[in-house]
C-alpha cells in the first residue's frame, strides 16, 4: 500500500539533488512511498540525476519532465499523479531523516486525520548549525487525532512539517498559483480551510536549509518579489472569506491575520526605497481597512510600529536582530 506521496520540485538543483533523493532511496520505503521528481525545465544535470534514481529504484521514484519552470504548476501535477494516502512536499535543496521517514510511513498506515504535523530542523547553510522545531514544546499533544485547531494557532506549523490526506486536496479542488513565489502559504492554508481533524506526531523528519541567498525568502527576493506576496495573501484571504465556517476556522483566521500584518514588514522594512515602501504600505492599509475591518484592529498595532521603524530608517539588519532577540 502506498501511504505517502512526496513531491520534489526541481529547478537547476544539481548541486544538492543527489543528497536530497538519497534520503528517500531505502528498501523499507519501496512501494510504500512515492517520490515524484518534478523537473521544471532545468538546464543543468538535474533531470539526469533524477532519472538515475528512477532507474535504480522505480518502486520509489517517478520522474515528470516538465517544459515550464512553474513551482505551483508542478505541485498541481503531483497531486493529480499521487498514489499515496497522504501527500507532502520536500524542496530539492532540503532533505529528510530516512529512519524518521520510515517511522512516519508506518504510522500513516493507520492514520485518518486530514492534516498530519511533524517536527523538523532548521539547518544553517553557512554554519551547519541545526535548530530543532518541536510542536510538543509549544503545547501539542502527540499521537492524538482531534478536531481542536487551537493548538496549530500556538505551534504555527510550516510547510516543512505539513502533510495532507490526499483526498482532502482533491475534494477541496486545491490548486496553487503558477509562476508565483511564496505559494507555500497557499499550501498551508487553502486545504486547511476545509480540514476537520489534525494529528501531531513526534517525528523529526524534515531538514530545512536556510541562509541561502538564492532562496525566495532571502531579504533581496522578499523585496524584489513583493507583488507575488500580495497575490498570495489576497488569494488565501479571499478563499477564507468565501468558505463556510468549520473546525479549522480559528486557526486559518489567525494565520490570515498574521499574513495581513507580515505584508507591512516586507513593504516597510525590506523595500530598499523607504519612501516607496511607505507609499505601498498606505495602499495595503487601505485594502485591509476596507476589506477586513474586523481584522484591522489586530493588525494595526504591528503596522504602527513598522511605520515608525521605517520613518527612522532602522536598517533591515537591525530589525532582524531585534526580531530574533524578542521572538527567537
* End-of-domain residue from the set 178, 210, 242: 210
Give me the pLDDT at residue 213, please: 55
CB 192 within 8 A of CB 249: no
130-172 per-position pLDDT tens digit: 999 999 999 999 999 999 999 999 999 999 999 999 999 999 9
CB 147 within 8 A of CB 196: yes
Give me the pLDDT at residue 4, please: 98
* End-of-domain residue from the set 185, 210, 235: 210
Dihedral sign of CA atoms 151, 211, 269, 90 in order: negative
Q: Could you tell me if 147 and 249 lie in one domain?
A: no
Radius of gyration of the chain from Cα atoms?
A: 20
Q: Could you tell me if 165 and 24 lie in one domain?
A: yes
Q: Could you tell me if 167 and 264 lie in one domain?
A: no
Residue with more model confidence, 217 or 190: 190
Q: Could you tell me if 205 and 275 lie in one domain?
A: no
Q: Could you tell me if 193 and 230 lie in one domain?
A: no
Q: Could you tell me if 250 and 201 lie in one domain?
A: no
Q: Could you tell me if 111 and 28 lie in one domain?
A: yes
CB 266 within 8 A of CB 225: no
| Number of compact structural domains in the chain | 2
Containing domain of residue 146, as a range? 4-210
Res 220 pLDDT > 90:
no
55-92 per-position pLDDT tens digit: 999 999 999 999 988 899 999 999 999 999 999 999 99
pLDDT bin (cut points 50, 70, 90) of residue 316 is confident
Q: Which of 169, 159, 187 is nearest to 90 (CA)?
A: 159
Alpha-carbon span 61 to 106, nearest angstrom:
19
Q: Could you tell me if 202 and 226 lie in one domain?
A: no
pLDDT bin (cut points 50, 70, 90) of residue 119 is very high
Q: Which of 164, 166, 24 is nearest to 83 (CA)?
A: 166
Q: Could you tell me if 200 and 264 lie in one domain?
A: no
Q: Residue 56's domain is classified under what CATH number?
A: 3.90.550.10
Give me the pLDDT at residue 96, please: 98
CA 140, chain centre distance (Å): 19
Q: How open is the CA angle 138-90-10, to the nearest 5 degrees?
A: 150
CA 296, chain centre distance (Å): 25
Cβ–Cβ contacts within 10 Å for residue 8, how many? 24
Q: Could you tell me if 189 and 242 lie in one domain?
A: no
pLDDT bin (cut points 50, 70, 90) of residue 214 is low
- Whole-structure pTM value: 0.93
Cell of 147: 478536531
Res 221 pLDDT > 90:
no
Q: Could you tell me if 52 and 150 lie in one domain?
A: yes
Q: Could you tell me if 122 and 225 lie in one domain?
A: no
* End-of-domain residue from the set 190, 210, 230: 210
Amino acid at each position: 500500500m502506498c501511504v505517502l506521496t512526496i513531491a520534489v520540485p526541481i529547478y537547476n538543483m544539481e548541486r544538492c539533488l543527489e543528497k536530497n533523493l538519497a534520503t528517500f532511496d531505502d528498501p523499507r520505503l519501496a512501494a510504500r512511498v512515492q517520490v515524484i521528481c518534478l523537473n521544471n525545465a532545468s538546464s543543468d544535470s538535474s533531470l539526469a540525476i533524477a532519472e538515475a534514481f528512477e532507474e535504480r529504484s522505480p518502486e520509489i521514484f517517478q520522474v515528470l519532465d516538465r517544459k515550464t519552470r512553474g513551482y505551483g504548476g508542478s505541485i498541481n501535477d503531483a497531486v493529480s499523479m499521487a498514489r499515496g494516502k497522504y501527500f507532502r512536499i520536500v524542496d530539492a535543496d532540503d532533505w529528510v531523516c530516512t529512519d524518521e521517514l520510515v517511522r512516519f510511513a508506518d504510522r500513516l498506515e493507520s492514520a485518518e486525520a486530514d492534516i498530519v504535523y511533524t517536527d523538523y530542523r532548521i539547518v544553517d547553510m553557512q554554519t551547519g548549525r541545526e535548530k530543532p522545531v518541536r510542536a510538543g514544546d509549544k503545547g501539542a499533544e502527540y499521537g492524538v487525532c482531534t478536531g481542536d485547531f487551537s493548538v496549530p494557532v500556538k505551534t504555527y506549523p510550516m510547510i516543512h512539517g505539513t502533510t495532507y490526506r490526499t483526498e482532502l486536496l482533491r475534494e477541496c479542488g486545491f490548486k496553487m498559483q503558477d509562476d508565483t513565489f511564496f505559494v507555500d502559504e497557499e499550501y498551508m492554508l487553502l486545504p486547511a480551510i476545509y480540514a476537520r481533524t489534525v494529528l501531531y506526531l513526534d517525528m523529526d523528519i524534515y531538514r530545512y536549509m536556510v541562509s541561502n541567498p538564492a532562496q525566495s525568502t532571502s531579504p533581496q527576493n522578499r523585496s524584489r518579489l513583493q507583488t507575488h506576496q500580495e497575490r498570495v495573501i489576497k488569494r488565501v484571504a479571499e478563499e477564507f472569506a468565501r468558505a463556510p465556517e468549520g473546525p479549522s476556522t480559528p486557526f486559518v483566521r489567525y494565520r490570515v491575520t498574521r499574513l495581513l500584518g507580515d505584508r507591512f514588514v516586507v513593504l516597510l522594512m525590506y523595500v530598499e526605497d523607504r519612501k516607496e515602501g511607505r507609499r505601498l504600505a498606505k495602499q495595503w492599509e487601505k485594502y485591509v481597512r476596507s476589506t477586513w475591518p474586523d481584522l484591522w484592529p489586530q493588525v494595526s498595532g504591528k503596522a504602527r510600529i513598522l511605520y515608525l521603524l521605517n520613518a527612522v530608517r532602522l536598517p533591515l539588519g537591525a530589525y532582524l536582530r531585534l526580531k530574533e532577540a524578542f521572538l527567537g
